Structure 1
């Protein structure tokens, strides 16, 4: 009788994804604490609760791991999925509906931590800045610019430079990241990014804020 062949089952796709997520989340935390240059694979493995060799199975170098960190953080928030315009919806309303939930989601995810890493490490690690610009910032700008151009075409927004407006709309995010991540360690002093974004949209469109909007806390 033929001898049965025992085959070792490989890890499930769910298990693989979970392990990768553990590694990238640990790497992001260590990169923020130690800096990318000083961070070691051993530190990251200890934080992730995996063997050092396991990291190299998924990420053969620190550069590959850095790319994995960026991709994983961006995957947590589908920030640039186009929204279908509702019947009768203004471009301003579409912009609010696109951006405000995104800002709130970013603050609750690794996306905000990734932005702080960009602020502190991009000069020393140009590849990090290039990745973020290619995968996050440029798509965000194109998404916002498309809505602003629509607003200009329909006469809702009086501007000859929607590109400048698109850049301005990125400022609440980066201002919030600098203030909350670098200027204060006190959560009570943090500013909420979504209300800042809503204030700026109202100013750009020269329209009053919706009555449901909450006032933005003053900076210290």
Structure 2
């Protein structure tokens, strides 16, 4: 009886993730507007009432998807960005590698694709992504660039615009591939090659002229 209770508890604890997995699959297939909670429940193998037990609305489902997939990236990156006092290129490289590793997993990669597809029709999704990720990571990146310029490790640049230059190409790359079907030669988005090429161009542009090779 005790073992049965433990199994039931583990199953109950896993259910929110199972529901979110199903919701993500349905949203990607049908689009957020056309997807129905009934379809999510069927995909998850639970009743519609069980879905509403954990997530009271379809909007709550997509909020759960974003928080689960994207917010941990921000939380992992923030300590390194906020405390680092050396060459800013080191934590920037680490952040980009974490991003590459995360987006190489199909389920995790589906989240930014979904956001890009739905963001214009559902501003609340953009607001959620901004609050959970951009409003946390961007100020930390800006301060990192400011410290790099002040210490002479980076040449004088506008910190806020530089952060946009760091983030922008990755977003544009995903958008070109997923929204317009324009992908680089090879397989998939080749995000690892894009990041390596982007960092090479970025770092040569940020490095003070006297230390360039």
Matched, 1:60 2:46: no
Q: Are residues 9 and 102 of structure 1, via their aligned partners in 2, closer, same or farther at CA, if it must alter by over 3 Å? A: same
Output the CA distance in 2 between the equivalents of 1:76 and 1:136: 9
TM-score (norm 1): 0.77
User: Which of 195, 198, 201 lines up with 1:197 in the alignment?
Assistant: 195
Q: Measure how far apart 1:109 and its partner are.
A: 5.3
Q: Is the 8 A contact 2:138 2:163 kept in 1?
A: yes
Larger Rg: 1
Partner of 2:21: 25
Q: Measure how far apart 1:194 and its partner are.
A: 3.6
Q: Is the 8 A contact 1:82 1:143 kept in 2?
A: no
Q: Measure how far apart 1:53 and its partner are.
A: 1.4
CA offsets 1:73-102 (integer angstroms, 9 cap, x no match): 22564543422648xx52212321232233
Q: Is the 8 A contact 2:89 2:203 kept in 1?
A: yes
Output the CA distance in 2 between the equivalents of 1:75 and 1:47: 25
User: Which of 76, 82, 96 lines up with 2:79 in the alignment?
Assistant: 82
Q: Is the 8 A contact 1:79 1:102 kept in 2?
A: no
Output the CA distance in 2 between the equivalents of 1:70 and 1:33: 17
Q: Which moved more, 1:64-73 or 1:160-169?
A: 64-73
Unaligned ranges ≥5, structure 1: 1-7, 209-220
Q: Are residues 97 and 80 of structure 1, via their aligned partners in 2, closer, same or farther at CA, if it must alter by over 3 Å? A: closer
Q: Post-superposition, which runs of at least 4 consecutive aligned residues in structure 1 deviate over 6 A?
A: none
Q: Measure how far apart 1:132 and its partner are.
A: 0.7
Q: Is the 8 A contact 2:69 2:111 kept in 1?
A: yes
User: Which of 33, 37, 41 lines up with 1:45 in the alignment?
Assistant: 41
Partner of 1:5: none
The alignment's C-alpha RMSD in Å is: 2.8
Q: Measure how far apart 1:119 and its partner are.
A: 1.2
Output the CA distance in 2 between the equivalents of 1:36 and 1:61: 12
TM-score (norm 2): 0.79
